[in-house]
Amino acid sequence: MTGMPFDLQLLNACAALLLLLSFAMLSQRRIVSLVNLLALQGALLFVATLLLAWRTGQNHLYLSAALTLALKVILLPWLLHRMIRRLEVYWDTETMLNPASTMLAGVVTVVFAFGLAQPIAALANTAMRNAIGIAVAVILLAFITMITRRKAMSQVVGFLSMENGLFFGAMSATYGMPMIVELGVALDVLVAMLVLGVFFFQIREQFDSLDLHHLESLREDR
Amino acid sequence: MEFAVLLLAPLMGAIVLGFYGARRWAPEANVGFSLGTFLAACVLTARVLREGNVIAANEQFFIDPFNVFLVVLTAFVGFTTAVFSRPYMRIETEHGRIGRGRLRLYHSMYQLFMATMLVALTTNNLGLLWVAMEAATLSTVLLVTLYRTPASLEAGWKYFILCGVGIAQALFGTILLYFAAERVLGAHGVDALLWTHLVAVKTELEPRVLSIAFVFLLVGYGTKVGLAPLHNWLPDAHAEGPTPISAVLSGLLLNVAIYAVIRCKVLVEGSLQSQLPSDMLMGFGLLSVVLAAFFLWRQRDIKRLFAYSSIEHMGIVTFAFGMGGAVATFAALLHMTVHSLTKSAIFFAVGHAAQKAGSQRIEDIRGLITLNPTIGWGLMIGTLAILGLPPFGVFASEFLILTTAMRQQPWATPILLLALGVAFAAIFSRVQSMVFGETTARRLPHQPALLPVFAHLAIVLVLGLYIPPYLADWYRAAARLIGGG
């Protein structure tokens, strides 16, 4: 690591922590903590975007950083915590896989992600091209989080974590998408959360629970 | 100007109906806004016919031969569905299935859904295309769960999560595309995601990145097309939502999703100079056709039955686009048009039939022809049309696709023929028992709107007998654009 400027080291540290957080989310069963981890991921994204903006001097990155702070660190976690309190869902039930196999699957996924990102990273000329592999890994780990969980709330957190990974990927490969697209994506995520809020209360009203095993009656033989 | 009206009419509709969507005149207002959209689409088409391609709003929106007919089709089916939904939703309200608040939600979201699809079709920016596709999902999730039954909540959840995850893959694909484009079009160019710019430099885009991007884009948008094995959300969402929504999901949203796939395919194919994108489309298409045909046999719910038929037809279209070449692409575009018209007509007829029988189960619906011959015949003729019987338009497009397949991909022809035969037997036997036989139906409190059914079927019939030259020119121009020679 000799000769690497300090801010770049900091950026890489952010990337590494992001990956670590994804693993933490994979094993966390307390939903409140899961949301906190998500907020922490958002905070790391905010720091990384800010550092990148400072380093490259691109003004639109400051705007993305502000958007990240407002949406991913403050608004979404707040909305999720509110929903958790009002719906009183604090714990996820047993995951589909036991924790050890989930972790193992996670490790294999990370190796695969770096393999997939290799040709892309080789072509990138951004400061943090090495982080592209991490971004792909975060996306895929979030995907595993989603498929191994039974509670609707944890699946949503996985979904948002996947969005974080996508954002980080765009950041490390191309310094973010054009502003109009980024604004559109942020709007979509926000609307998705609001729709989900309504939707959760509907599920709750109907089943008295947010456990997804109630939602398994639609089979082919109906 | 026409552009502004086209996109703002449904948006205004969404806002106005968001406030007044439960008033007595709301269904008429819904029709009115849809009519406005359709008229704007017609004027826009006339302008395109006169002046050629149109680019608007700082190059963010554009119209070329490929999307112009889809815009007209979307606006037209949106309008006829609004006409159908007027008595349909009134009957639903009177049967006590939905209250005033939900009616407001329904009308507002219906218009918003139309707006998102039109944005997706007309935008030049592949990033905005993604945003609009996701917005289309979000605006329909609460419509799928409109009845709040356990089954509809499950369908809505599946729809949200599967399409959400799918579309997230497409976002990654879009990021990779932007990444490749930036290297050619210059860093931080705002135009690096504009399709018109990308297509000009498609041969210079980095092939390795684009092949990875295409996998993500195909899986992402393919989920929304309902390509097997990513089709799980589709039958549930079609069966559990209100019927007008089934009609627009099946007739319009799937087309828009396939449009997104093809736009991406043009770029990737230009860069790769290889068969990979075509092979992937053919593979997914063929798998969908076969899987859907066999799943048709297990359906007991009439709307699920036709949802699987939509998967089958989307598979045929995808396969045809995958084959490429002037004739196959022409046929695929024609098939998109006639499928959309026929399938929405069928859903209109099925909707009223289910209301009459008080159930969507096939075994509960009997003898439609005795009590209401128009619904009965509408369903029967629609079914024959969608099954590809001559002289309807579906026959023409399927015939073209099959004959091209015989020349270009002979191995696929028997598989396609077998699947079409299986689907024919499955659907025909079920619909026949619904239309004929002892009746179990009841009277409806409002006169059903069956004009849209026959209007659609008449157009499909005309398209089967004679394609007007300007329409054929469009299709050919679009086929050239997509790279079909």
Number of separate domains in chain B: 1
Structure tokens at B419: 């699947």
- A207 or B365: whose pLDDT is higher? B365
The CA-to-CA distance between both ends of chain A, in Å, stands at: 61
Where are the extended beta strands (E) located within B105-264? Answer: none
Structure tokens at B441: 């139906």
Contacts of A60 in chain B (CB under 8 A): 188
Q: Is residue B50 part of a domain?
A: no
Surface-to-core class of residue A172, CB atoms within 10 Å of its CB (0-12 exposed, 13-18 middle, 19+ buried): buried
pLDDT of B153 over the 90 cut:
no
Distance CA B397, CA B95 (A): 40
In degrees and rounded to multiples of 5, residue B447 shows phi and psi of -65, 120
Residues with Cβ within 8 Å of B78's Cβ and at least 6 positions away in sequence, in order, are B10, B34, B37, B38, B114, B248, B252
**pLDDT-derived band at A221, boundaries 50, 70, 90:** very low
Distance CA B422, CA B57 (A): 48
Distance CA B251, CA B339 (A): 7
- On average, the pLDDT of chain A sits at 83
Domain span including residue B442: 275-485
CA distance B19 to chain A (A): 18
pLDDT of A198 over the 50 cut:
yes
The CA-to-CA distance between both ends of chain B, in Å, stands at: 33
CA distance A74 to chain B (A): 22
Q: Is residue B451 part of a domain?
A: yes
Residues B297-323 have a mean pLDDT of: 93
Can you spell out the DSSP letters for A40-77?
HHHHHHHHHHHHHHHHHT-HHHHHHHHHHIIIIIIIHH
Look at residue A146 in the predicted model and tell me its pLDDT.
Answer: 85
Query: pTM of the full predicted structure?
Result: 0.91
Helix and strand tally (H, E) in chain B? 20, 2
Look at residue B193 in the predicted model and tell me its pLDDT.
Answer: 86
Touching check for B319 and chain A: CB below 8 Å?
no
Q: Is residue B332 part of a domain?
A: yes
Nearest to B298 among A162, A192, A220 (CB): A220
Query: Could you read off the pLDDT of B379-424 as tens digits, one per residue?
Result: 999 999 999 888 899 999 999 999 999 998 899 999 999 999 999 9
Best CA proximity match to A192, nearest among B59, B148, B157:
B157
- On average, the pLDDT of chain B sits at 88
Q: Is residue B201 part of a domain?
A: no
**pLDDT-derived band at A95, boundaries 50, 70, 90:** low
In degrees and rounded to multiples of 5, residue B275 shows phi and psi of -85, -5
Contacts of A59 in chain B (CB under 8 A): none
Q: Is residue B212 part of a domain?
A: no
Query: Could you read off the pLDDT of B326-342 as tens digits, one per residue?
Result: 889 999 999 999 999 99
Nearest to A120 among B154, B176, B182 (CB): B176
Best CA proximity match to B264, nearest among B253, B277, B250:
B277
Q: Is residue B397 part of a domain?
A: yes
| Chain mean position to CA B55 | 24
Looking at this protein, which amino acid is placed at residue B31? V
Q: Is residue B186 part of a domain?
A: no
Touching check for B178 and chain A: CB below 8 Å?
yes
Least confident of B221-225, B283-287, B353-357: B353-357
Distance CA A27, CA A34 (A): 9
Cβ(A210)–Cβ(A200) below 8 Å: yes
Q: Is residue B58 part of a domain?
A: no
DSSP-assigned letter for residue B436: S
Cβ(B178)–Cβ(B138) below 8 Å: no
